[in-house]
């Protein structure tokens, strides 16, 4: 008999019909009541066992974590808490789970413990909800761009360029590390490597997206990116996913509008389609925050926070205006910031970004026109010669979630910026060609996918919103 998913049974449309369920046992009470979950939704479905007519050896195998198939009549539930239940006529054990060894017994487990068994944590309510929502966020992003006529571009994962100019890259090589070939100068001879040159894992698909946008009009990438940054924080990963749209004939205002529209679209999609999972995560967050001091708790419940972002325009101000606010704010004057803001030109830290969002404006903030010395070479230089047409979107609890800019389309200015930042022209000839042949104003941004999922789910550690987190000292599974 064909299996029916639990999500398709909960509305009660199939009451009175014989159905087959397959799933994993969450609990088994009184040798009679199985709470079964199949991952299609947060809710379990109760399977009622006729224990008097069921072999004892079978009953003993119905343990937490076991996979079973149950066939029987779907009836109105006799108890409270659920609309329907399955009156089992037959039960088959598909896979046993030894209760002496299975680590996910029905009790509360810490997120730290679950990170150590990330291969099993999908089976908990928390991570089931997180990863269903992660899927929904990815789908909504693709749908948003598709509806607006963007072309989805697969940018390379192995690349010879450092798009950010930061140098924090993972090298890709097939050379024998026990006997690395050297050239006459004593340096590694990459001509003998697989690609005939030094290559690394990509830190961004942006530069390649620009090439396509300057022919297709508007494109976006959505893929894995890698940073070899030795950072052990709740906000950083060594492998994460990025969304990077690029739009021809667009300026910074168009860029900000697109990013704000996209974020609101995605949050509304999750609010409309993932109520059950959001309700669960909202309660989980509320329970977690009971142990925190009042000033560290979220000002709004999870769903209200998302609605607030959807319903309110993001605050837009320049970096210069932000610096003036920060210089004169109480935490800065009283030395409560870890990094004191003294002069224009300072690189804003997460604590500064969160102050602007959570304390000063109490809403998402878009900062624009940063000093060119703290931004990447490809950003358009303003007429003042000191700032660039950059923008960052800052969210409560997260800090920077989006970074973007109008790109420098003027060939001479771009070459000058590359010289300033010691980026070799000859290696970037392909990028400069787009400024030689039919250049035009264009803009784009990068969105850290995991940070968006973290914000939407209310999870406090970014390692809990990616299936298998990669960070310094850890590449398990």
Decide: 155 and 209 in contact? Cβ < 8 Å. Answer: yes
Integer Cα distance of 36 and 23 in angstroms: 6
More confident position, 99 or 166: 99
Q: What DSSP character marks residue 17?
A: S
Can you give the pLDDT at residue 165? 59
How many percent of the chain have pLDDT more than 70?
99
Q: Give a three-class secondary structure readout of 329-397.
A: CHHHHCCCCCCCCCCCCCCCCHHHHHHHHHHHHCCCEEEEEEEHHHCCCCECECCCCCEEEEEEEEECC
CA 217 to chain centre: 26
* CATH topology (fold) of 6-104: OB fold (Dihydrolipoamide Acetyltransferase, E2P) (2.40.50)
Can you give the pLDDT at residue 93? 98
Can you give the pLDDT at residue 232? 79
* pLDDT, tens only, 183-226: 999 999 999 999 999 999 999 999 999 999 999 999 999 999 99
- 163 confidence band (pLDDT: 50, 70, 90): low
Backbone angles phi, psi at 122, to 5 degrees: -55, -25
Can you give the pLDDT at residue 433? 97
- The rounded mean pLDDT for the chain is 94
All CATH 2.40.50.140 domain ranges in the chain, comma separated: 6-104
* pLDDT, tens only, 431-463: 999 999 999 999 999 999 999 999 999 999 999
pLDDT at 298 over 90: no
pLDDT at 166 over 80: no
All CATH 3.30.930.10 domain ranges in the chain, comma separated: 123-168+203-464
Can you give the pLDDT at residue 291? 87
- What lies within 8 Å, CB to CB, of 241 at 6+ separation is 222, 223, 224, 225, 448, 449, 450, 466
Can you give the pLDDT at residue 399? 86
Can you give the pLDDT at residue 167? 64
pLDDT at 344 over 70: yes
Pairing of strands 442-448, 67-76: unpaired
Can you give the pLDDT at residue 452? 97
pLDDT at 320 over 80: yes
pLDDT at 274 over 80: yes
Q: Which CATH architecture has domain 123-168+203-464?
A: 2-Layer Sandwich (3.30)
Decide: 405 and 390 in contact? Cβ < 8 Å. Answer: yes
CA count, 13 A, side-chain hemisphere, 471: 16
How many percent of the chain have pLDDT more than 90?
87
Can you give the pLDDT at residue 168? 86
Edge to edge, what strands does the sheet with 171-172 contain?
Answer: 158-159, 199-201, 171-172
* pLDDT, tens only, 117-135: 999 999 999 999 999 999 9
């Amino acid at each position: 008999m064909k299996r029916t998913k639990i999500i398709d049974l909960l509305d009660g449309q199939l009451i009175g019909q014989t159905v087959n369920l397959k799933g994993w046992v969450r609990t088994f009470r009184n040798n009679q009541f199985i709470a079964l979950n199949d991952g299609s939704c947060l809710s379990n479905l109760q399977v009622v066992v006729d224990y008097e007519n069921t072999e004892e050896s079978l009953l003993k195998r119905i343990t937490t974590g076991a996979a079973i198939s149950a066939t029987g009549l779907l009836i109105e539930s006799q108890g409270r808490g659920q609309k329907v239940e399955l009156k089992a006529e037959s039960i088959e054990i598909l896979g046993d789970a030894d209760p002496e060894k299975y680590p996910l017994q029905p009790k509360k487990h810490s997120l730290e413990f679950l990170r150590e068994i990330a291969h099993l944590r999908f089976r908990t309510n928390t991570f089931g909800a997180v990863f269903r929502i992660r899927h929904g966020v990815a789908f909504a992003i693709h749908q948003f761009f598709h509806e607006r006529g963007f072309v989805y571009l697969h940018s390379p994962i192995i690349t010879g360029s450092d798009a950010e100019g930061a140098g924090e890259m993972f090298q890709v090589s097939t050379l024998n590390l026990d006997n690395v070939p050297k050239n006459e100068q004593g340096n590694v001879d990459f001509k003998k490597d697989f690609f005939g040159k030094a290559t690394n894992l990509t830190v961004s698909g942006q530069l390649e997206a620009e090439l396509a946008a300057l022919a297709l009009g508007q494109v976006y990438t959505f893929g894995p990116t890698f940073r070899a940054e030795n950072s052990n924080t709740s906000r950083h990963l060594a492998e994460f996913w990025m969304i990077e749209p690029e739009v021809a004939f667009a300026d910074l205002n168009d860029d900000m509008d697109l990013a704000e529209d996209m974020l609101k679209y995605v949050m509304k999609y999750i609010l409309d389609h993932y109520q059950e999972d959001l309700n669960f995560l909202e309660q989980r967050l509320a329970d977690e925050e009971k142990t925190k001091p009042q000033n560290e708790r979220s000002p709004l419940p999870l769903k209200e926070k998302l609605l607030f972002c959807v319903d309110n325009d993001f605050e837009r101000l320049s970096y210069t205006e932000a610096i003036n606010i920060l210089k004169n704010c109480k935490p800065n004057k009283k030395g409560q910031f870890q990094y004191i803001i003294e002069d224009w030109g300072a690189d804003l830290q997460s604590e500064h970004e969160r102050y602007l969002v959570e304390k000063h404006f109490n809403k998402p903030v878009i900062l624009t026109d940063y000093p060119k010395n703290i931004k990447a070479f490809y950003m358009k230089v303003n007429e003042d010669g000191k700032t660039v047409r950059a923008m960052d979107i800052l969210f409560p609890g997260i800090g920077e979630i989006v970074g973007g800019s109008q790109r420098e389309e003027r060939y001479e200015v771009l070459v000058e910026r590359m010289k300033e930042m010691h980026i070799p022209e000859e290696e970037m000839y392909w990028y400069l060609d787009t400024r030689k042949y039919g250049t035009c104003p264009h803009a784009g941004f990068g969105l850290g996918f995991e940070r968006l999922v973290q914000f939407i789910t209310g999870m406090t550690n970014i390692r809990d919103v990616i299936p298998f987190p990669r960070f310094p000292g850890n590449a398990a599974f």
